[in-house]
Structure 1
Amino acid sequence: MVDTRSADQRRRIMQSVKQKDTGPEIAVRKKLHSLGYRFRLHGRTLPGRPDLVFPSRKKVIFVHGCFWHGHECSKGALPKSRLEYWKPKIEANKTRDERNVNELKKAGWESLVLWQCEVARLDEAIDSIERFLGPPGRQGSAD
């Protein structure tokens, strides 16, 4: 199937896609902050640069876009055009994500992956985050 956009239109669309501070990520951050959780953003020194870092708990949260990270939901479906490009790209993203989680685990960190489609049901997503993190408040010295 041929792309329905010109090369210039496609480039502008792709350049507008954010890597951090996405809508789902901001929704999760606002809700967690209002519940009393404190965190660092985009841990530069950690594998995969997790979206939310809870240093004293040694826990991180990734908020993944379903398409870009290959989630098996309707939002994660591969496009019909340029499958020879998109399939290896998304598979490489999935491999990288798995490697990052494994590296974090080896370093003593626990990870939670939260999907874009899960954030659409924010209350349910927050319930799973609270189970993962435990109660808000300081767990050590640097939350």
Structure 2
Amino acid sequence: MTDVHSKATRSKNMRAIGTRDTAIEKRLAGLLTQSGFAFRVQDAALAGRPDFILDDYRCIIFTHGCFWHHHDCYLFKVPATRTEFWLEKIGKNVTRDQRDITTLMAQGWRVLIVWECALRGRLKLDDAALIERLEEWICGGGQTAQIDTTGIRPV
């Protein structure tokens, strides 16, 4: 099936998708600030340009959109048009994510992924639940973990 938009329209739509200060990043930044954590944002010198860097705890937090990073949840839907193109593009994102996490861990960073579904949508976690899980991981250790609608678990 072909795309319903012209190439120029599709290109314009794709350029409009933000890569920083997204709604999920703003929500997570507010929760981190509310909990008293000092952080930096999007350091281009680090692999994957992490969304949040907590130097005091030597940890990195990524906020991943469920569609763009292929999370197995209700927010991920395989596109009906140009399916092969989208699955290839998303697959490259997943491969890049794995490479970046491996690189960061080799540099001594701990890595947390917070999925979009935990931050927005009908099954999102409330602020108290998110703060509890963030504090648990940041202060408690563990090399890698992820937070989604089911809570926190190792990657």
Q: TM-score if structure 1 supplies the norm length? A: 0.87
In the other structure, the counterpart of 1:132 is: 137
- Aligned position for 1:141: none
Match of 2:95 in 1: 95
* Superposition map of 1:1-143 within 5 A: 1-120=1-120, 121-123=125-127, 124-134=129-139
Deviations 1:22-44 (A, max 9, x none): 10001110121122111000122
Structure 2, unmatched stretches of 5+, are: 141-155
Report what 2:145 is aligned to: none
Question: Which of structures 1 and 2 has the larger relative contact order (alpha carbons within 8 angstroms, sep 6+)?
Answer: 1
Q: Percent identity between the aligned chains?
A: 35
Aligned to 2:147: none
Cα separation, 2, equivalents of 1:7 and 1:125: 40
Displacement of 1:4 after TM fit?
2.6
Query: For the Cα contact (< 8 Å) 2:58–2:109, is it kept in 1?
Result: yes
One-letter amino acid of the counterpart of residue 133, structure 1? I
What is the aligned length? 135
Q: Which runs of 5+ in 1 are unaligned?
A: 136-143
TM, length-normalised to structure 2: 0.81
Between Structure 1 and Structure 2, the one with more helix by share is 1
Deviation at 1:9, TM superposition (A): 2.7
Which stretch shifts more, 2-11 or 17-26? 2-11
| Runs of 4+ deviating beyond 6 Å | none
